[in-house]
Chain A
Amino acid sequence: MVPFKILVLVCLAYVIFLFLVAFVVENRARQGRARWLRAPIVYTLSLSIYCTAWTFYGAVGYAARSGLEFLTIYLGPTLVFVGWWWVLRKLVRIGKAQRVTSIADLISSRYGKSNLLGVIVTLLAVAGTTPYIALQLQSISLSFAVFAAETRPGWALPGRDATALWVAGGLVIFTILFGTRNLDANEQHHGIVTAIAVEAVVKLVALLAVGIFVVWVLADGPRGVFDLIEATDVAEWRLQPGRWAGLTFLSAAAILCLPRMFQVMVVENADERHLATASWAFPLYLALMSLFVVPIAVVGLLTMPEGSNPDLFVLTLPLSAGRGDLAMLAFLGGFSSATSMVIVAAIALATMVSNHIVVPLWLRMARVAGEVAPAAGYAGDVRRLVLRARRASIAGVLALGYAYFHFTGGSSALAAIGLIAFVGVAQALPALIGGIFWRGASRNGAAVGLCLGFGIWIYALFLPSFGPDGVIPADVMINGPFGIGWLRPQALFGSEGMDPLLHALFWSLLLNSGAFCLVSIFSFPTPLERLQGAQFVNVFDRAGGTRGWAHGVAEAEDLLVMAQRILGGDAAQGFFHAEAAAQGKAGFLPDTTPEFIEALERRLSASVGAATAHAMVGQIVGGSMISVEDLMAVANETAQIMEYSSRLEAKSEELIRTARQLREANEKLTKLSVQKDAFLSQISHELRTPMTSIRAFSEILRDGADLPLADRHKYAGIIQEEAIRLTRLLDDLLDLSVLENGQVTLHSTSANLHDLIDSALRSAGATAAGRDFAILRDPASEHVGLTTDTDRLTQVFINLVSNARKYCDAAHPELRIRVTERGADVEVDFIDNGSGIGKENQALIFEKFARLTDQTRAGGAGLGLAICREVMSKLGGTIAYLPGQGGAAFRVRLPRRRILPRGGSVAPGAHGAGQGPVAAQG
């Protein structure tokens, strides 16, 4: 028999031991020396807070009352963990990527960081967890009472309430000490997690010890137990299909939604790979925890006196068999189950309450009061505020639990309270699962669904749980509110005869998810919601290579690989080598200390910009998703780079353009050079022909003194004629070169076109008497006023008329002159009735020396039309050959009024030469 005094002492010693464990671990973790803390087994053991005192004591009671149904509470979580690839893996990844701090944070963050949803989920969690905490307090005080009942008088047993109060107070201190030491960015509490892992071992060992004792000492081994089971009331398995499937589903939903489970499963997860281990190890833990439940229940039912509480068989069986030590172990197991659950639940709830209710309220009040501190002091202020809020919340949560325990007085069946709490927290399931798998899930949908489910849970399950006439009057329970039958709390919509728990579960989740889906479909999410939705649902598509927060060699290697890609092999290796040497290590892989990471990031940012470097290093080291801010910074840098590169591009395009221009200029020059050569050879030819005849005849004159006078006259005439030709040729050349070089001054005067044509015809000798050359004109149309350089224009006309006279090969040559006005321009056509110019030659006639027929007949140097073209372009008009007119036809087109630009510098000689009519004359 264990005296109560010793029990209390052992209990205190155990608590001090837990304090020490948490303290030492916390310190070692701060020094970064606790690698084993991150072992998957610690993670798995910390998950065991799912098994609360309700499991430890209540499962046996449950089994004693309803047989195997208690197993459903473990089968659901088993399925969830075995199916970790579906949901848990994604939850943990999202938790890491988004740095989620609680389930309320996850849901609020998913739906556009909506604080409304955070508040709803927080309230839901508080409502669902408070009874649960009360349950733990109740189980501790009950177990104390078991020992106290056996104690000798003199050790006054404190009242049950007092026990619960002491325990609650102790838990508050422990939780505040280790749960709010610091505001970790990732909200991880190594000390507490380790203490919980220790407690997990204690409770498993305790339950297994009691089980083994019961099976092999009290009964005759497994075979004997099997026979005993067959012999008792629970032998027949009264399986209720609805409850069996419903409770399995409920427990599966609960393990995802319970705030404390979310805390250890997602928030405290150090490495995703731990989940792989937990996928089999946690179900194994659950199986071991429930392995001996039925034997204990059966043996208890058979050996314990009638009317003893089956919830306490774990304690009373060893006690009645005189094994005080075993009972003590069992007590510590139950104590561990209760305390670990309360601690984690308090931390999870306190995080939620402070983050979603207290801080937002405080900020709003501060804003309203206009007291928002300057930015510098602001951060520190909020930090202290959050810590204080969290501490107050922990105390508040436990106070609520105690109050619930105090006022309900402790219901008889532990399991009922647990299941009610499960249904409450399961209301978060649609929003949670929808949020991580369905991009269309919207904030409004989640809010409506949550509120509806929450309301139904309160109305149909939570309030009726206070008993008939507890909160809801018995009349309402039987007849419905205001006599509306289909609103009866336990028979909604006429669904009578359902198990109350199943009834509430069915209707709340059905309407919850129904409203969630429908409102989501018909509402339109905000941009932030859609952004977050995409990040949550597609969490695996981005941020590959997430390694969690664990710092290890693998990371250093990854960093090296990345750095090599950016900096180049030699530079990166040199940098890593130097850093490793600075840390006192050999080789190329330094420890990934914050200093090193910072240095690396700085080094990289020199190459790729700060934001990109941060994101890249963060992906490997932090395992975190790039935040929107990071992305925006990257976008800014990218924009700058793009701007720079587009400037470069513009420059290079300009260079290409210049090069092309240069190439074109070069080609042109080459062509011009060829043209010049051709021109020179043409000129020399043109000059030599008259010179040859001049030389020949002058030689004849010189040598032939005996020549008749007539011949001398004839030869001298030829020499003179050739000399005139030469002079004319040189004049033409001079004129053309003046025109081409633009060194010509045009004199703008006004004249009548009719007069100009008259004068041209006169000059060309076309009107001379005795010439058989008909000129056809329409004088009426010729009276057009012109403002241009009339002398030059006349020169063109003369040239065209004399060409016609010279080349027209018709029997009765005639020249038609036609004048047409075209808008601001005037066209003058010169059309003869000769054979015209062949198509192949039409393009050539305006070139220099392009004489089509032989020289003797033409008698010109072939520069006339080239000069015409130059003149016309100077006058702002054109001259073109007009095909299809029944003879050679030229069209001169020029503007009627033209302000002539002044030419450039005028060469002294050129001026005079340009003045006279230079057209070829016969």
Chain B
Amino acid sequence: MARGAQFLERQTYRRRRMIDGARLLPVIGAIAFVMPILWRTDTTPGASTAHGGLYLFAIWFGLILAAFALSRRLRNVAGDGRVED
């Protein structure tokens, strides 16, 4: 892998963006999971366990799906590990 090359093969470029996605996913997940903290303002009624649970599980399964999609593309990259950037 030529480091510092400015223009990459299309495939390599896509793969790197996939890696970026894999790195971003936990950040998105963390923000979404912590979001319920913001709900507890006085203006809105206390969120119910049922609705909160639905929200959390929705995020959860969404993350699982996204991770599934990413892992299918990154599975083989993980083996050689040369693609760092």
A84 touches B22 (CB 8 A): yes
Give 1 or 0 for each of B57-78: 1 = CB within 8 Å of chain A CB. 1001101111110111011101
Residues of chain A at interface, number, CB under 8 A: 48
Residues of chain B at interface, number, CB under 8 A: 43
Interface check B23, CB cutoff 8 A: yes
- Whether A235 touches B56, Cβ cut-off 8 Å, given contacts A280-B64, A544-B81, is no
Interface check A294, CB cutoff 8 A: yes
- Whether A284 touches B64, Cβ cut-off 8 Å, given contacts A237-B52, A241-B40, A245-B34, is yes
Partner of A234, one of B49, B57, B70: B49
Partner of A239, one of B40, B61, B68: B40
Quick one: closest B residue to A72, CB to CB?
B33
Tell me the complex Cα distance, A67–B27, Å: 25
Within A40-95, which residues are at the interface with B (CB < 8 Å)?
A: 67-68, 71, 75, 78-86, 89, 93
Give 1 or 0 for each of A540-576: 1 = CB within 8 Å of chain B CB. 1100111110000000000000000000000000000
Interface check A244, CB cutoff 8 A: yes
How far does the Cβ of A618 sit from chain B's closest Cβ, in whole Å? 16
B57 touches A291 (CB 8 A): yes
Tell me the complex Cα distance, A283–B66, Å: 11
Interface check A475, CB cutoff 8 A: no
How far does the Cβ of B73 sit from chain A's closest Cβ, in whole Å? 9
Chain B residues positioned under 8 Å from A287 (CB to CB): 57, 60-61, 64
B60 touches A248 (CB 8 A): no
Chain B residues positioned under 8 Å from A84 (CB to CB): 22
Interface check A605, CB cutoff 8 A: no
How far does the Cβ of B53 sit from chain A's closest Cβ, in whole Å? 6
Chain A residues positioned under 8 Å from B80 (CB to CB): 544-546
Partner of B67, one of A248, A280, A548: A280
Interface check A492, CB cutoff 8 A: no
How far does the Cβ of A83 sit from chain B's closest Cβ, in whole Å? 3
B50 touches A229 (CB 8 A): yes
Interface check A276, CB cutoff 8 A: yes
Quick one: closest A residue to B36, CB to CB?
A239
Interface check B82, CB cutoff 8 A: yes
Tell me the complex Cα distance, A541–B85, Å: 11
Tell me the complex Cα distance, A234–B64, Å: 27
Interface check A693, CB cutoff 8 A: no
How far does the Cβ of B71 sit from chain A's closest Cβ, in whole Å? 4
How far does the Cβ of A291 sit from chain B's closest Cβ, in whole Å? 7
Partner of A226, one of B23, B50, B64, B78: B50
Tell me the complex Cα distance, A321–B5, Å: 68
B25 touches A89 (CB 8 A): no
Quick one: closest B residue to A547, CB to CB?
B79
- Whether A283 touches B23, Cβ cut-off 8 Å, given contacts A78-B29, A89-B78, is no
- Whether A93 touches B64, Cβ cut-off 8 Å, given contacts A86-B26, A235-B48, is no
B76 touches A280 (CB 8 A): no
A85 touches B63 (CB 8 A): no
Give 1 or 0 for each of B1-42: 1 = CB within 8 Å of chain A CB. 000000000000000000100110111011001101101100
Chain A residues positioned under 8 Å from B36 (CB to CB): 237, 239, 244
Partner of A241, one of B37, B48, B56, B74: B37
- Whether A283 touches B64, Cβ cut-off 8 Å, given contacts A235-B50, A276-B71, is yes
Within A283-336, which residues are at the interface with B (CB < 8 Å)?
A: 283-284, 287, 291, 294
A248 touches B33 (CB 8 A): yes
- Whether A79 touches B30, Cβ cut-off 8 Å, given contacts A68-B56, A84-B22, A230-B48, is yes
Give 1 or 0 for each of A235-266: 1 = CB within 8 Å of chain B CB. 11111010011001000000000000000000
Interface check A273, CB cutoff 8 A: yes
Chain B residues positioned under 8 Å from A271 (CB to CB): 79
Interface check A579, CB cutoff 8 A: no
Interface check A621, CB cutoff 8 A: no
Tell me the complex Cα distance, A67–B56, Å: 13
B26 touches A248 (CB 8 A): no
Interface check A115, CB cutoff 8 A: no
B52 touches A79 (CB 8 A): no
Interface check A277, CB cutoff 8 A: yes
Of B57, B63, B65, chain A has the most CB atoms within 10 Å of the CB of B63
Of B30, B40, B49, B75, chain A has the most CB atoms within 10 Å of the CB of B49
Chain A residues positioned under 8 Å from B60 (CB to CB): 75, 78, 283, 287
How far does the Cβ of B8 sit from chain A's closest Cβ, in whole Å? 18
B48 touches A83 (CB 8 A): no
- Whether A294 touches B53, Cβ cut-off 8 Å, given contacts A241-B40, A540-B84, A544-B82, is yes
Quick one: closest A residue to B68, CB to CB?
A280
Interface check A272, CB cutoff 8 A: yes
B34 touches A244 (CB 8 A): yes
Tell me the complex Cα distance, A230–B54, Å: 12
In the complex, besides A83-B25, A237-B46, A280-B65, 19 extra interface pairs with C-beta distance below 8 angstroms are A75-B33, A79-B33, A81-B67, A82-B25, A82-B66, A236-B46, A236-B49, A237-B36, A239-B37, A239-B40, A239-B52, A244-B36, A248-B30, A273-B75, A273-B78, A279-B70, A540-B84, A544-B81, A546-B81
Q: List 11 A-B contacts (CB under 8 A).
A: A67-B49, A71-B53, A75-B60, A82-B25, A85-B23, A85-B74, A236-B49, A237-B46, A237-B52, A245-B34, A248-B30
Could you list which residues of chain A lie within 8 angstroms of chain B, going by C-beta atoms? 67-68, 71, 75, 78-86, 89, 93, 226, 229-230, 234-239, 241, 244-245, 248, 271-273, 275-277, 279-280, 283-284, 287, 291, 294, 540-541, 544-548
